[in-house]
Amino acid sequence: MTTPTLVDSHCHIDFPDFDGEHAALIERAGQAGVDRMVTICTKLRNEPTVRALAETYDPVFFAAGTHPMSAADEPMASVDELVALSQHPKFVGIGESGLDYHYTAESADVQKQSLRIHVTAAQETGLPLIIHNRASDDDMTEILTTGFKAKPFTCVMHCFSSSPALARAMLDLGFYLSMSGIATFPKSQEVRDIFAATPIERVLVETDSPYLAPKPYRGRRNEPAYTADTARVGAEVFGVDYAEFAVQTTANFDRLFAKAAAWKAA
């Protein structure tokens, strides 16, 4: 019996945590059934390094943007810059961008400016926007809803662990919610309840590695292979078997990240 395949829709394998072991990392992922991953560039000056990983390893795709926690310290991205980067055949998403008022509330105005630039880039390229949100639900809802009404775009709320109200607002726009290792933690029942109330057709899975390792690896370095452990909990949340959840979330990924799906098909 073949292992159902999964996609790690959000990881950071360019981080120093993985130096010198990318081939082994990707092999372990494949053994766990994770046959594709999107590695996310969080500072545009690091884009060449992230791009090189996608060019070297067939299972790796990439996205690029300015993380909200870096928005005040990095040069402001431009729409033209993001659009130019998007021409690469394995560049499949815009971001991650977003808002983080938990750690970096003092740069809220710069974060909002940066987020709006990334929204415009998603609108212009047709690629999905990849969103980080923490303690910023009201501003996030306002910016994404206003942008969507002006010109629709697609989006995933990565590592979703915000409020039920934000989940509903984002789902109402047709966006996706991504399940991370947080959903496996014993004290994360509210997160599991939010996903249980989400249409299964709008759910992705991710690691956000090297962060947020799921049970039973919590407290250790996360890696793409552990997507499978989060997916097992996701299957329980939705009351389906693991294979069905894997097939469904992979189909969801291919629908949202259509450029990655087209690359695989080719």
pLDDT tens for 38-52 read: 999 999 999 999 999
Report the alpha-carbon distance of residue 253 to residue 71 in Å, rounded: 27
Q: For residue 98, what pLDDT is reported?
A: 98
Residues with pLDDT less than 50, the chain: none
Residues 25, 18 contacting (CB under 8 angstroms): yes
Cα–Cα distances in angstroms (integers) from residue 158 to residues 89, 108, 147, 182, in the given order: 22, 19, 18, 12
**In the beta sheet, which residues pair with residue 11?**
39
Superfamily of the domain at 6-265: Metal-dependent hydrolases (3.20.20.140)
CA atoms within 13 A on the CB side of 212: 23
Q: Which of 244, 134, 115, 232 is nearest to 179 (CA)?
A: 232
The pair phi, psi for residue 4, each rounded to 5°, is -60, 140
Centre a 10 Å sphere on the Cβ of residue 87 and count the other Cβ atoms it contains: 8
Read off the pTM. 0.97
Q: Enter the DSSP assignment of 38.
A: E
- What b/e string do you get for 50-59 counting C-beta neighbours within 10 Å, with b at 16 or more? bbebbeebeb
The pair phi, psi for residue 232, each rounded to 5°, is -65, -40
The alpha carbon dihedral of 234, 236, 240, 242 has a sign of positive
Q: For residue 1, what pLDDT is reported?
A: 57
Ordered by start, the domain boundaries in the chain are 6-265
